[in-house]
Amino acid sequence: MSQPAPPLETIAYVIDPTDRIRQVTPNWDAFAQTNGAPQLTLPAVLDRSIWDYITGAGVRSLYHDLFQFVRRKNQPLTFSFRCDAPATRRFMEMQLVPNADGAITLRSRTLHVETRPPIALLTLPAHDGPDSLEICSFCKQAHLPDDTWAPLEDTITQLDLFGEIPIPDGITHSVCPTCLPDLQRRLGL
């Protein structure tokens, strides 16, 4: 079920010094549509703050640190992450590249794609409420009530979501204790 990504599949966008999205690559809309996110096409995102699209206090704080690092050091930073759709595991790499004017170009390149049976949890809206399911933005593991992290494919069973436990109101993003130290090390934190 595994297939290589198209060799040059890259999605990029530019945020200005105030973190507003000012430019996207021509394939932006196709990527949004393919991933069932028509609300993220060009007319909806252009001139909006990047912070309108990053949920979860921990992830927002980490991206703030990443942007600050790239601007202060004036050097690119590259890291791996997952950008899954309900029926797809998408392994990606993001590069943050500083521009001369304080803007940053964010380039996301697909490294590998795997199909899987659809995971209904990934159709839930982004939501920071107390009844949200916390998912790591980088590895896509879910935070369970026993303070462990598990792959999304196992989460429905482990939480008995279609049994007696109510389905979460939405998904909020975080950084799991496995991914966070690696990112902090890269930033010298």
* CATH code for the domain of 128: 3.30.450.20
> For the residues 71-89, what does the mean pLDDT come to?
90
pLDDT band at 163; cut points 50, 70, 90: low
pTM above 0.85, yes or no: no
H or E element, residue 152:
helix 152-159
Q: Is 172 exposed, middle or buried (0-12, 13-18, 19+ CB in 10 A)?
A: buried
Range of the domain at 19: 2-187
User: In this structure, what are the phi and psi dihedrals at residue 172, rounded to the nearest 5 degrees?
Assistant: -120, 150
Mean per-residue pLDDT of the chain: 84
Structure tokens, 64: 């703030």
pLDDT score for 46: 93
pLDDT score for 1: 47
Q: What is the total count of domains within the chain?
A: 1
pLDDT band at 6; cut points 50, 70, 90: very low
User: In this structure, what are the phi and psi dihedrals at residue 56, rounded to the nearest 5 degrees?
Assistant: 90, 120
pLDDT band at 189; cut points 50, 70, 90: low
> For the residues 55-82, what does the mean pLDDT come to?
91
141, 152, 150, 143: which is closest to 117 by C-alpha?
152
CA dist., res. 50 & res. 65, Å (int): 14
